[in-house]
Amino acid sequence: AGLVGSEMCIRDSLVVGVGTGGTISGTGKYLKEKNPNIKVWGIDTYGSVFKKYKETGIFDKNEIYPYITEGIGEDFLPANVNFDIIDLFEKVTDKDAALMTREICRQEGIFVGNSAGSAVAGLLQLKDQLKPEDVVVIIFHDHGSRYMGKMYNEDWLRERGFLKDEKLTARTILAKKEAADIVTIDCEKTISEAINTMNTLNISQIPVTQKGMLVGKLAEGDILTALLENPSLKSSSIESIMSPTFPFVDLNTSIDRLSSLITKENSAVLVELEDGRFDIITQYDIINAIKG
């Protein structure tokens, strides 16, 4: 009712992505016949000629270049586009259009396509021209089912630089992990002492140190194998049965690399922290981080 009212104290606007121009020109013409004060805003894309032509009357071939956004923009002037009806054009980047397409689905539960994302992104760019009481209508032309392999595919977005690589790293996994002191044991301690420590702390592996330096690791499997062969080893030093230390990684190591390092032989990795200390990541920590 607000869009077609004869007397208005607020400004109404129609926002439409412009491709061949039929929707915005036809709808805009009808609405302006009902209310000349309605503003009709067209959303364009970089690589298209509409905005400059509207503002200058110049068809600039130098503006034309390939773009990814679908459903809007052209490299020619379709006869359908009525530039007299359209009050202004706003250009939106391929990246902003793609990310907004996903955001509409995430925030509003509306499974829209690429031109809808561009339209909303363009409206947000124009927000300073609006007042809180203004009424704005956006037409969503496009359904998201056409874009499952594109805007709704994170690998596709990453390949084009649209999405910051959000894959988990050692840093982000440690941030999701419950803070806990890293327990180590000196290599001169006995196997019996190691068993007691591990039982008390309910841990299955422990880094081994010598004069404060990491020199190896001790796991339940190492102890079991050794004692099955020779039960009297309980009084021997850890050094006699320890295995090589866990692999070291830095904070930026990707989850793919971390997962490849955690094997039957290495049930964890050690992460060098920026203050010279270290932390530990286990398979359990990775699983918890993936779960969110």
Contact 271, 250 (CB under 8 A): yes
Contact 38, 85 (CB under 8 A): no
Whether the pTM exceeds 0.85: the reply is: no
Give the mean model confidence (pLDDT) for residues 88-93: 97
Q: Would you state the structure tokens that stand for residue 208, as one six-digit string?
A: 């081994």
Domains and CATH numbers, the chain: 2-159 (3.40.50.1100), 170-291 (3.10.580.10)
* CA 291 – CA 204 distance, rounded (Å): 23
Contact 234, 194 (CB under 8 A): no
Q: What integer pLDDT is reported at residue 181 of this predicted model?
A: 78
* CA 112 – CA 101 distance, rounded (Å): 6
Q: What integer pLDDT is reported at residue 267 of this predicted model?
A: 81
Give the mean model confidence (pLDDT) for residues 200-211: 89
Q: Please, which residues have CB within 8 angstroms of residue 115's CB and are 6 or more apart in sequence? A: 17, 19, 43, 69, 70, 71, 72, 97, 140, 141, 142
* CA 140 – CA 234 distance, rounded (Å): 73
pLDDT, one tens digit per residue, over 27-56 is: 999 999 999 999 999 999 999 999 999 999
* CA 144 – CA 114 distance, rounded (Å): 7
Q: Please, which residues have CB within 8 angstroms of residue 9's CB and are 6 or more apart in sequence? A: none
- pLDDT tier at 5, thresholds 50, 70, 90: very low
pLDDT, one tens digit per residue, over 222-281 is: 899 899 999 899 999 999 999 888 899 999 898 888 988 988 777 889 998 877 788 999
Contact 195, 226 (CB under 8 A): no
Q: What integer pLDDT is reported at residue 263 of this predicted model?
A: 84
